Amino acid sequence: MQQQQPHDISPWNQNNDDLLTVTEQQVDEFKTPYENFQQQQDQYKKQKVIKVNTTNCRGETRLIRKLIAKNNWKEVFNDGDICLLGLPFKQQNYDEYFSQIVNRYPGMDLLAHKTQSSFYLNKFAQYFPEEYEFFPKTYIIPDELDKFQKEYKNTRTYIAKPDAGSQGDGIYLLKNLKEVKTNESIVIQQYISKPLLIDKKKFDLRLYVLITSLDPYLCYINKEGLARFCTVDYEKPNDKNIRNSFMHLTNYSLNKRSTNFQVFNGKNILDINEGTKRTYTSIKKNLEILGYNNQDIENEIESLVVSYLKSLLPFLAFNQKLVFQKKVAEVKCFQVLGFDILLDEKGKPWLLEVNSNPSLQIEHEVFSANGKSVFEESLIDSYVKELVLGDAIKLAMMPTEDQEELPGFESYRKLDVDSTETIFSQMMQLYGFLSGYKFQEYLTSSKFQKLASFPQMTSQTFLKHDYDLLFRKIILRSCNTNLMDFFQFIIAIEQLAGKLNQDLEEMLDRITQNL
């Protein structure tokens, strides 16, 4: 029986290139989705189930449990991969840092207080004036009461904020010097009387910034955020409206009690709407219609955030070393900060405040006509804060070397922050030496006088006993009249250089080389 010869199809392929091309396309159409599916499955299998320790959670509990369910993570009540502290670092949390990634940097809460934050921003503006023009003129009362009285102008409006206040408590506008409460610790700023308005109302932005490492210094800004609106149409402050909080203060905690408060009731929270709280994405659509350049605004916002983060680094890095000492390399932290930013009528962003513990609650209080209230989940808060905290946890879990290679991750964009040491790094080093390298330790007069033992730190006109006089002069207006904190130490060291007729930087270089 004659064997059947196979068909030779090579001439067909040679003369029918289109058919060959179509066949490859068809194969690719089936192959690509399958490969993507396989990659997703492999990635899912490799992805570690993150264990989140919620023992010390507070207002963010509902949000984190929602994220746990959404991402198939696991809630634990002892050692986890991530440990969420609802309050700032305390010494009793020390052990948590060696087995988990914790969401608090030691000392961050102190730096974000209104008085301390205002003080070192003013100081950085003094040393680096071109980089620090993004916050309103600020005075710390009672320390700078004399300065405020000299620079005060009755044609301007000022806003006073209590140091320990939050959620708008105790904030008031003033035009008259007699209205200043000099018997309590407050911060007074020039009021930005020409804000950018949307729907005739004043608003501010709450944007979220993430720090995942101090060495290397890795910082990110979230692409999403919140806009908080006043509930009364804006007018420039005058005697009749200056006490109208619903017109001048954007705090949600205040405006939620207004009868004009509007809960979002649209279909898409990313679209333009009339809610009293909105997404940053929706606001950018408003700005575009109004003729503002969103990219220019975002570049300016990023620039001010970077400058602020630059000022934080010396303090954070030093506190980290004080707390964990020789074990500092074993510790990994992260923290989300809330930046409150106001746009003026020219589109210039102004930094109003930085919150080291921004609210991560996803419920809002809804008031009925009879004044009673109920708590409901806020679609806007939930959407924004799921991105903020969820992606922050995923980034924090990532090895530092992997983060260095990425330009960002999911909703976070990496920021390029200069980590070069500044004069404040030397001041921190010297303060640490004098205070015995202890976390949150203050200086006594005797500790401050140790400076006199360094070469060239006394003169014919400034002797060792003059150190005690300088010490007492600096802390005279302090609530604690016996101890000097780091911010007062900065003032003291500046005045010391002047009394010794020495260049401050050269003096610090000489001292720190002898430590």
DSSP assignment string, 124-159: HHHHSTTT--SS--EEEETTTHHHHHHH--TTS-EE
Asked if 263 and 252 count as a contact pair (C-beta separation under 8 A), the reply is no
Q: Alpha-carbon distance 56 to 330, whole Å?
A: 22
pLDDT of residue 128: 86
The dihedral built from the CA positions of residue 78, 81, 87 and 88, taken in this order, carries a sign that is: positive
Q: Alpha-carbon distance 495 to 507, whole Å?
A: 12
CA end-to-end distance (rounded Å), the chain: 103
Asked if 423 and 505 count as a contact pair (C-beta separation under 8 A), the reply is yes
Helix or strand (DSSP H, E) at 75 = strand 74-76
Q: Alpha-carbon distance 461 to 451, whole Å?
A: 16
Q: Alpha-carbon distance 463 to 453, whole Å?
A: 11
Q: Alpha-carbon distance 157 to 234, whole Å?
A: 15
Tokens of 456: 């060239």
Asked if 211 and 219 count as a contact pair (C-beta separation under 8 A), the reply is yes
Region at 102 (left for phi over 0; alpha for psi -120 to 50; beta for the rest): beta
pTM: 0.86
Task: Determine the 3-state secondary structure of 37 from DSSP.
Answer: helix
Per-residue pLDDT of the chain (515 residues; tens, 9 = 90+): 444 444 443 333 444 444 334 445 444 444 445 455 455 445 444 567 999 999 999 889 999 999 999 999 999 998 899 999 998 888 888 888 999 999 999 989 877 678 888 888 888 888 888 888 899 999 988 888 999 999 999 899 999 998 766 656 789 999 998 888 877 888 999 999 999 999 999 999 999 999 999 999 999 999 999 999 999 999 999 999 999 999 999 999 899 889 899 988 888 999 999 999 999 999 999 999 999 999 999 999 999 999 999 988 988 998 999 899 889 999 999 999 999 999 999 999 999 999 999 999 998 877 766 777 788 889 999 999 999 999 999 999 999 999 999 999 999 999 999 988 889 999 999 999 999 888 778 899 999 999 999 999 999 999 999 999 999 999 886 655 689 988 899 999 999 999 999 999 999 999 998 88
Q: Alpha-carbon distance 220 to 302, whole Å?
A: 10
Q: Alpha-carbon distance 173 to 243, whole Å?
A: 7
